[in-house]
Structure 1
Amino acid sequence: MDILLLILGLACMLIGILGSFLPVLPGISLCWLGIVLLYFTNAIPVNYWVLGTTFLVVILFSIANYILPAKGTQRFGGSKAGIWGTNIGLVIGLLAPIPLGFIIGPFTGALIGELVFDTKNIKQALRAATGSVLGILASSFIQFMLCVIYFGIFISIIWEYKALLFN
C-alpha cells in the first residue's frame, strides 16, 4: 500500500508541475496533495508543520493567482475598467475551449475594458492589456517555482525515510 501511495504522490507531483503551465490543472494544489499522500503511508510519520506550512502557501498563492493579472494591468496604467476586464476575461478565457485562453482572455478583457469604458487611447489600452499578460506570466512562473519546491520537499521526505519505505 505504501508503494501505491508513493506512486500516486509522485504522479500528483508531476501533474502538478505540468499544471503550473496549464491553467486547467491546479498545479500547486496537486503538488500539495502529493505531499499529503506521502504522509498517508505507514512508513513516514506525519509532520503537521510541513503540511500546515505548505497548505498555507497553497491558500495564499491561490488567492494571489487571481490578483496578479489585475495588478499587472494596474501597474501598466490600467483603470478600474481594465482591471475588471482582466478578471472577467480571465474567467472566460479559462472556461472557453480556445488554445491559450488563459492569456487571450485577460488581454482581450483588459483591452475592451480600457477602450470601451475608460480611455479611447489605443496605445494606453494596449499597454494595460500587456500588463495583464505579464501578470499572468508572473503568476505561472511563481506557481512553477512553488511546484518545484514542493517536489524538492517530496523527494527529501522520501530520501529521509527511504529505508522504512522500501523495506
Structure 2
Amino acid sequence: MAIVAWTLIIISFIIAFVGLVYPIIPASLFVFLGFILYGLFFSFGELPWWFWTAEILFAVLLFGADFLANAVGVKRFGGSKAGMWGSTVGLIAGPFLIPVFGILAGPFIGAVAAELIFNRMTPGRALKSGVGSLVGFLTSVAAKGAIQLVMIVLFVIVVS
C-alpha cells in the first residue's frame, strides 16, 4: 500500500510541475494534494503546524510571483493594463488554439492584439509589449518552479 501511496503523491507533484506551463492545471493545489495524500495514507501527525504554515505562505508566494512577473514583464517593455489582460487571456486560450506552441505564442499574441486594439499602439510598441509578456511568463514559470521545488523539498525533509 505504501508503494501506491508514494506513487500517487509523486504523480500529484509531477502534475503540479506540468501546471507551470499549462495554466488550466492548478499547480499549487496538486502540491497540496500530495501533502494531503501523505496524511491520508500515513499520518497527518508527521506534518507539524509550522509545516502547514510555511507551505501556505509559499502558496501565497506562488500566486504573487505569477501575477508580479507578468505585470513587470509587460510594464517593463512598455505595455499597459490592456497588454497585461491580453497576455492573461492569451495564456489561457493559447494552449487550446495552438496546441504545442500556444503556451508561448498565446501571451505574446494576446498582449500585442490588446495593445493594438485598445491602445492603438504602433505595431513596434505593441510587439515590444508582447515580448515583455513572454519574458514575464518565462520568469513566472522559473520563479514558480523554484518555489514548488522548495515546497516539495521541505515536505521530503519533514517526512524523512
TM-score by length of 2: 0.81
Work out the CA distance in 1 between the residues paired with 2:39 and 2:129.
45
**Aligned letter for 2:92?**
V
Instruction: Point out where structure 2 has 5 or more consecutive residues left out of the alignment.
Output: none
Matched-pair contact (CA < 8 Å) for 1:2–1:43:
no
**CA contact under 8 A between 2:86 and 2:114: conserved in structure 1?**
yes
Quote the residue 1:26 is aligned against.
26
User: Over the residues paired in the alignment, what is the CA RMSD in angstroms?
Assistant: 2.5
Aligned equivalent of 1:54: 55
Q: Partner letter of residue 77 of structure 2?
A: F
Deviation at 1:121, TM superposition (A): 1.8
User: Larger C-alpha radius of gyration, 1 or 2?
Assistant: 1
Residue of structure 2 in register with 1:113 after alignment: 114
Aligned equivalent of 2:130: 129
Maintained 8 Å contact 2:10/2:34: yes
Aligned residues: 159
Judge conservation of contact 1:73–1:132 (CA < 8 Å) in 2: yes
- In structure 2, distance between residues paired with 1:28 and 1:145: 12
Summarize the alignment of residues 1-167 of structure 1 with structure 2, pairs less than 5 Å apart: 1-40=1-40, 41-42=42-43, 45-96=46-97, 98-159=99-160
Q: For the structure 1 residues 10 and 44, does the alpha-carbon distance in structure 2 shift closer, same or farther, using more than 3 Å as the test?
A: farther
Structure 1: stretches of 5+ with no match in the other structure: 160-167
Q: C-alpha distance in 1, partners of 2:68/2:89? A: 12
- Separation of aligned partners in 2, 1:74 and 1:101: 22
Identity of aligned residues (%): 29
Q: Is the 8 A contact 1:21 1:144 kept in 2?
A: no
